[in-house]
Amino acid sequence: MSSSRIAIIFVPGGKRVRQIEFPGYLFKILLSISAVLAVFLLFILVDYTLIKIDTPGLSKLKKENQEKERQNNALAQKIIEMNENLKELQKLDQKLRAMINLEKNSPNQNQVLGVGGSSPQMAGSEYSIEKVRNMHRYSDNLKTAIAIQMTEKKELFGYFDKQRSMLACTPSVWPVKGWVSSDFGYRVSPFTQEKEFHRALDIVAREGTLIMAPADGVVVAASSTDYGYGNLLTVSHGYGLKTRYAHLSAFLVKPGDRVKRGQEIGKVGNTGRSTGAHLHYEILLNEVPVNPQQYILN
């Protein structure tokens, strides 16, 4: 049985007719190849169309990624700068503590503050998940360091606030203008002519001269005594310090009053056991008399 054949006849405008014959199976092969090529071209056309449709979205996504990378780089740089600033703050903290001889509560704080310095993984320009993780880790370290610094600064503030309060409550100025007629320590008594210990300063001034508080404090007593002091005023300054003012002619404050350094609290007089107008000025530290001139700065 002979195989079928396909004939193609060409009639070129009045000229001799031509005929081409080829086996039928070859036609089927050519038809199949043409169909495959058509499908392939259709696939390429559809894919190209989809790419053209997605191109604006891809371009936008690329721009968004570039912006995120820029922002992450800027954030990484800020984190590095903040860490450097914290290190400088730590150095200042150490200097202040060295100056005032104040130790830290925790010996491990230096180690905590030392975490999170400049890093190639942080500062690089290439965007990556690892870089983002590094930034989160550095951010957590900074939070810990900042919390420690806040605690330490509160401690320093408390110390300096206490020192300020102590300075304000230290009797460091003269309570009255005049001249010292009798120093703190042993002297010959003007009444018995015998050696005795004088526990104060006697400051001569005109009767009625205003007496100023040498430090902040609270008036705890203001009354007349029967043991030689005459009108006696006592001010407590805290921290174990008290000042007493004897032989006054008048009180300008009363018990319970809070006084400030430089405030008028009384007047010089000649009450009690006295040879003339003067101020008997005592300082007691934990109820023990101390030399007032050790405290006076002016």
CA atoms within 13 A on the CB side of 196: 11
Overall average pLDDT of the 258-280 stretch: 94
Cross-strand partners of 219: 235
Nearest to 86 by CA among 130, 121, 117: 117
Local confidence band at 28 (pLDDT 50, 70, 90 cut-offs): confident
**pLDDT tens-digit profile of 243-255?**
999 999 999 999 9
The larger pLDDT score, comparing residue 112 to residue 119, is at 119
For the beta carbon of residue 65, count every other beta carbon within 10 angstroms. 11
The conformation of residue 42, written as its DSSP 8-state character, comes to H
The enclosing H or E element of 61 equals: helix 24-100
Give the whole-number percent of the chain exceeding pLDDT 70: 83
Instruction: Kindly indicate the confidence band of residue 15, based on its pLDDT and cuts at 50, 70 and 90.
Output: low
Q: DSSP secondary-structure letter at 113?
A: H
The pLDDT of residue 107: 45
- The answer to whether the CB of 158 falls within 8 A of the CB of 264 is no
Residues 55 and 63: beta-carbon distance below 8 Å: no
Q: Band of the pLDDT at 102, cuts 50, 70, 90?
A: low
Q: pLDDT confidence of 267, banded at 50, 70, 90?
A: very high
Q: What is the pLDDT of residues 48-98, one digit of tens each?
A: 777 777 666 667 777 777 777 787 777 778 877 887 878 887 777 777 777
Nearest-angstrom CA–CA distance, 278 and 180: 9
Query: What pLDDT is recorded for position 133?
Result: 75
Host H or E run for residue 250: strand 250-251
Contact call for residues 231 and 269 (beta carbons, < 8 A): yes
Range with lowest mean pLDDT among 55-64, 198-207, 226-235, 280-289: 55-64
Can you name the CATH fold of 179-294?
Glucose Permease (Domain IIA) (2.70.70)
**Alpha-carbon distance values, 31 to 28, 37, 83, 211 (Å):** 5, 10, 74, 125
| Cβ–Cβ < 8 Å for 169, 241 | yes
What residue segments make up the domains of the chain, in order of their start? 5-64, 71-168, 179-294
Per-residue pLDDT, 1: 44
Instruction: Over range 26-31, report the average pLDDT.
Output: 78
> Residues 91, 95, 96, 98: is their CA dihedral positive or negative?
positive
Beta-bridge mates of residue 202? 182, 280
The pLDDT assigned to 281 comes to 97
Give CA–CA dist 25/2, Å, rounded: 12
Q: Please check the confidence at residue 298 and state whether its pLDDT lies above 80.
A: no
Q: Which of 102, 261, 47, 72 is nearest to 173 (CA)?
A: 261
Element (H, E) at 136: helix 129-168
Strands 5-10 and 18-23: antiparallel
Looking at residue 13, what is its pLDDT? 65
**In this predicted structure, what is the pLDDT of residue 289?**
95
3-state secondary structure of 123: helix
Who has greater pLDDT, 186 or 2? 186
The residues pairing with 18 across neighbouring beta strands, listed in sequence order, are: 10
pTM for this entry? 0.54
Residue 268: CA count within 13 A, CB half-sphere? 22
pLDDT tier at 226, thresholds 50, 70, 90: low
